[in-house]
Structure 1
Amino acid sequence: MRRSLAFALTVASLVAAALVPAAALAHQGNPNMKSVVNQLTPRVPGVTLQVLNNDDRFQITNRSRDTILVQGYESEPYARISPDGTVLVNHNSPAFYLNTDRYGAVTVPKTANAKATPDWQLLDKTGVFQWHDHRMHYMSTGVPTVVRDKKAKTKIFDYRIPIKIGSQQGKILGTLYWDPPKDGGAPIGAIVAFVVLLVLSVGAVVLTRRRRAAGGGGDDDPDGGGAPRDDAPTARPAAPAATGGEAW
């Protein structure tokens, strides 16, 4: 019985996770927006770039022999990913602070400016760097004025972000689109209600069986009583339950 309940709860959790749309699980991405990378230059084997959570952040991976330098809003050194996997972030880059909030609603310390000597701090040694970049998304909570039909995919703007790979100056070229889910996504309220109903149903079944067991009845006793059948074998006295254990 205990295993049955645990299994049912696990199934319920998996069903809920499968039905909840990705946008609802996203960190901060706008479910109606999609940022698309069109080109990364220079093209270097072992360097890959992707957008995470619609328009939330970039992830760049360096498996090449070159050092990657991500540049901030004034082309200052922002992050550095070395061939050995070392990831450093410049704490004197204004982008380091501005990128901590989706809309840049933070106070940048006076020590952080584009001309300051970089203050490189170790982030990790994975060779992978993720960062939120205001140039890749719409800097407002409303619907862009360029969107005439909220159900139609619409180009909002193109963007260009400077980046260096090795000794070569390059760029990230991308486009931001208004691109809402075609079906509107799964209704969260309905999903939660379904999971709650499933859990309550399982609980009702467990409670009913426990009551039958306490009354001496079983699933093979349609009358619900505890009277033994004539052909039933003589039952041995039940062993006492272990201290602190579940009886069912």
Structure 2
Amino acid sequence: MLKAFADLSTPLVADACLRTGVPLRVAPPGIRPVVPGHRVAGRALPVRHYGSVDVFLEVFGRAEPGDVLVVDNGGRTDEACVGDLAVLEAAAAGLTGLVIWGLHRDTPELVEIGVPVFSYGGCPPGPVRLDEREPQALVSARFGPHLVGGGDLVLGDEDGVLFVAAERAEEVLTAARGIRATEREQARRIRSGDTLRRQTAFEDYLARRGADPSYTFRQHLRRVGGAIEE
């Protein structure tokens, strides 16, 4: 999956979700890689954190090579829930990355380990609580407004993280590649002096919108074969 995502980006995938009608499930803003430039792509391995590392050690027993650990820590900003030992153990279990709805710690060690970790940022203290565990602790993870399960794929880069149902992934990635090709050609033409307004027949769009206020630029782009919004 990381190879399939290698020449794409989360903005392209987000636009492809809109184009194909796939629900757009994006992690809350601010989730970024600990190491700039790191990317992640793979099947979600969800887990909910309650204050103890035991839940991670348990879910690692279910891991398959290439999985991405998706950690639900409720978006908390008062504690870190993942540190260097958890990341090393994740790598030993075959995981290719971790995506945390919350904070991490041991930043220098995580940089040295090199496994992609995405979170809101670093925080010195770990948890001092121990909450009651839910039955779905190893089945699904909340991530902002979204529920992520083992049937989802995780895609992340410096723009953020999003989740796509596995059965729609190939459709979405194919659409993303098409959008990328169109946008690259548009960019090439802009650099050569052919403005985006000319490429998209923008004056024609304004005239059509004047005659029909319901006519949208998105409809127009699809008619002329352009890509910028989706």
Length-normalised TM-score, structure 2: 0.30
Length-normalised TM-score, structure 1: 0.28
The structure having more radius of gyration, on CA atoms, is 1
| More helix per residue | 2
